[in-house]
Amino acid sequence: MRKSNLRAIFATALLVTTTSIAQAGDITVSAAASLTNAFKEIAQIYQTQHPNAKVALNFGGSGALLQQIAKGAPVDVFASADQETMDAAEKQGLVANIDRHNFVKNNLVLIVPKDSQFSPKRLQDLTQVQVKRIAIGNPASVPVGRYTVHALASVKLWPGLESKAINTQNVRQSLDYVARGEVDAGFVYATDASIMSDKVTVAFEVPLDVAISYPIAIVKDSKNREEAKRFIRFLASAQSQAILSKYGFQKP
């Protein structure tokens, strides 16, 4: 065999090996929409500290993300905005309990457009005639929607307000609707309201008898469990916790 052929074979083998190494640290993280800003910043720092790692982020309503995973989407880490969605993932065998833990908490708030003349002080104020449209995450698939319905049902307001609900695909869509003045009010997490404080006003924190805690877990079909574990460990670091805190998240 000629030396030129040997060099070509060696170069090809080296390229394949290098590509495999580069891909070895690749993971996909599917996370609740409310984690968007914090996770983008955390992932950027993580990749700087681990040059061989690449974190692809996928955000959306927790229920929609679960459906993607159930249908075979190549996801390594799943972060949900509620326990119910992660429970469903566990029951479907998509994640294991041993790989699951809570990593942050949040609060539910009612917001109104910044220039609104409507200044609600309690949930009962939403029954006023002037309130026509309320942005609420679709309770069938969006955790913030389920928290909202739970809060309204606990004070017997949900049946009367359901006709005013404008269902959204995730919490960020609810935030956008309020920011653009397309609805009279909306239910979002405190962390979401804080990133648009120039366009929305927090009327009050919504009382809940359940904690809004976020669980995270490694997806069972992950192709890179070690990198997934390392990313989750990084979320618990002081550096990541400081970023999460900056965006308003609380420790679990």
Report the CATH number of the 3-105+213-246 domain.
Answer: 3.40.190.10
Task: Note the Cα 106 to chain centre separation in Å.
Answer: 11
Q: Which structure tokens are listed for 212?
A: 């809004």
Q: What is the pLDDT of residues 51-75, one digit of tens each?
A: 999 999 999 999 999 999 999 999 9
Single pTM value for the model: 0.85
CATH ID of 108-205, from 3.40.50.360, 3.40.190.10, 3.30.1490.20, 3.10.180.10:
3.40.190.10
How many Å apart are CA 195 and CA 190, to the nearest integer? 9
pLDDT tens-digit profile of 227-245? 999 999 999 999 999 999 9
Question: Can you spell out the DSSP letters for 187-251?
Answer: EEEHHHHHTTTTTEEEEEEPP-SS-EEEEEEEETT-S-HHHHHHHHHHHTSHHHHHHHHHTT-B-
Which residue intervals of the chain bear CATH 3.40.190.10? Answer: 3-105+213-246, 108-205
Q: Among residues 123, 147, 162, which one has the least CA distance to residue 209?
A: 147
Which SS3 state, helix, strand or coil, does residue 142 take? coil
Q: What is the pLDDT of residues 93-133, one digit of tens each?
A: 999 999 999 999 999 999 999 999 999 999 999 999 999 99
Structure confidence by residue, pLDDT tens digits, 152-173 = 999 999 999 999 999 999 999 9
